[in-house]
Structure 1
Amino acid sequence: MTEMLLYALGIVLFALGLLVSIAWHELGHLSTAKLFGIRVPQYMVGFGPTIWSRKRGETEYGIKAIPAGGYIRMIGMFPPGEDGKIEARSTSPWRSMIEDAREASYEELLPGDETRLFYTRKPWKRVIVMFAGPFMNLVLAAVLFFGSMMTLGIEGQTTQVAGVQKCVIKQSEKRDTCKAGDPVSPAFKAGLKDGDKIVAFNGAPVSDWDTLSDRIRHTIGPATVTVERAGQRIDLHPTLVSNSVPKKDADGKVVQPVTYVDAGYLGFASKTEVAPLSFGETTERMTDLMENGVHSVIALPGKIPGLWDATFGDGERAEDSPVGVVGAARITGELMTVEAPKTTILVMFMNLLVMFNVSLFLFNMLPLLPLDGGHIAGALWESLRRHVARIFKRPDPGPFDVAKLMPAAYVVAGVFVCFTLLVLAADIVNPVKIT
């Protein structure tokens, strides 16, 4: 019963975090739009039926039933048509899409709003308004990440011995017990004991696991390991052997999917502990997180076949498979039931919210309508056209009509909807699990 309550608590906490992230995103758009005098009739978190709303000044604030996004409604998102009219009917379905979008952006126009239209603002102001939403997600991600890493920290390996392997076992065999014929491990033969803290390797001081691990991996043959034991320093003299161990990249992380290479082997387990990171270490990890996010977005189309096979075929769900809101909620629910220190669970939960906000930032920066990046690209293109016209002393080409791109925007939206439904089905049928 307790496990079920913890699971439900995890889902509720993720839902709250999701709502806060969306509201924070839309607040970026709202605050900058109001700063530049654009009228904003609505600020809504979610889609579908309205659960609660309250009007303050000229803006209606509300929460809707489906927490899958949000929006603010700004007056005059698109300029009038070439004929100067807001509405001009056509029998062409593509033309109708353009005209309907244009009409919708003016449907709440009031007397005096002629000077408060979005499209009348200078391109740099429109860029700020559209960029402010994704930027708020990036700010929230940074605050959560730096806050959790520098105060709570993460669980990491240390140079202290937590256990000594009695024999040499190829790690690719994935077994823990020794068999007859297995050679004695160098650590056990040299007298390494639980609780020893390794402070030097071959005379060179070591203070972190990554450094120690690299030196062990690059050594085969006699070595000197200096340990602290009961307040004294003792030199041990193991003879390291070659063993099959997981391959690591240049950053010391195990390469995924796991492959094995032959490297130096001592034969002990290191103790793990939760420790805060420095500002520099946190910055480095945040940079890695952003780089991985960019690579993930680029690689997303290539993951669709595997996602389809895992949903409707007999394929396995990859660990790095795309996860939607439902999948993330399930992972958070599972996280709350894991037997681990509370600080570790809290950090992992914070990191889930960090990754969600980083994803919101990266996706919304794609230069495609109806995403924020599409409107940013339109404003930048308008600025470029006008700048070129001034240089060559040509007539001002006027505002760029983003409404003409609405047919493409509907296609992009359709692709995103199909992808979202595929991820939703995968999260239900074959979810990613952490336990």
Structure 2
Amino acid sequence: MPSLRTAAAPVTAALVVVTGVGPIATDSYVAALPAVQVSLGTSAAVAQLTLTAFIVGMAAGQILLGPVSDGRGRRGLLLGGAVVFTLTSLLCALAPSGPVLVAVRLVQGLAAGAGIAIGRAVVGDAYPPAEAARRYGTLAAIVFLGPVIAPAAGGAVLAVGDWRTIFFVLTGFGGLMVLAVLFGIPETLPETERHGGGLGATLHRMADLGSDWSFMRHVVLQSVVVCGFFTYIGGSSFVLQEVYGISESTYATIFAVNAGAMAAATIGFRQLVGRVGPERLRAAGMGVSTVAAVGVLGGALFERVNGEPPPLAMTWVLLTVLVGGMGLTIPSATALAQEAGRRSRGTAAALAGGLAFLCGAAVTPLTGLLGYGTLLPMAALMSGFFVASVLMLLLVGRAGVSGGADPGAGSSARPSRPSGRSGAAHPATGAAERS
């Protein structure tokens, strides 16, 4: 079987650029939403929709373009996505109205999503399972710092310019993406390893992995965990400011510390995954986050009974632990899903990342709908999702044992596609780490 392991390896910094564009283009822009509304003479709903359109486009870009890369190669699509991101960033800066900005942001999100999914596929192409898992941890550590760095960077830009200036800066970042692909990311999927680029072949790959429980169990599990995490992202700002009366700057500090804990945990993941394996690290991360979420729920019940919330310090520590656990869970889940779907790595990255992102986006508004005057709605939702994920992990583990399949073996039990890529060519991540 032809092997990609002898191909030129991509430059890690280049992969960071193409996969990190999503959080940068999202979070650097949030503070400018009120200014967009005033400048374009539109409604708050349309201004908010410019953010929503980007998020939807980013999820769709992963789901649509990741599978296409399995048939047409990685580098061309990455380069095209970088060029489109650059052009749409410039068009956003020049947008004359709210509806135009919404439409262009949707396309910009599609281009960003391509970089996320295909960048992960490149890692799986270029490295054996154990090293790929470490690389996922590195990318995750950088990407998770986006929510910390991007708002501050956006605020600095707004101090010297306006919301259009942010998009001019993103235009420059898009140019950096183009250079990163041209000089830092070689083609890692040669023609002999491709599965066919037509629509039928693309849909077949999606159906193939979508019907493979040895792959989809990792995706479903990750999606449930991400729902719990996005409940925190979508609700913590409202809840903490309402319940504890803290200022926006204090909340920004809390959010930054928590994101820093997550980034630190991903660095720990990189150091440990070669010895411990992604399955154990995923279980550890989920367990830590679940215990912390239940702890927040206990504090919410205390508030319900006594009429006063628990000390802010206690809630903050628990949320820090919860978010830190995600720094182990997400890169582990990424590594396991990519290895389980290694016969179609672009499609695997698309389904794992895109579906989890869509699920998380769907639950983000739930805290606001249920109310944020107390800790209870957010705490109950987080606990529910995390406890459900742990129960599911136990059931998935039993199913893998009873079925005789290694839980990390992924697609090895499935026949390979007729492209020449063998589904059992490499040991599974979990099995490799335990051997």
Compute the TM-score of the two structures, normalised by the length of structure 2: 0.28
Q: If each structure's strand is expressed as a fraction of its own residues, which one has the higher value?
A: 1
Q: If each structure's helix is expressed as a fraction of its own residues, which one has the higher value?
A: 2
Q: Highest Rg: 1 or 2?
A: 1
Structure number with the bigger relative contact order (C-alpha 8 A, sep ≥ 6) is 2
Compute the TM-score of the two structures, normalised by the length of structure 1: 0.28
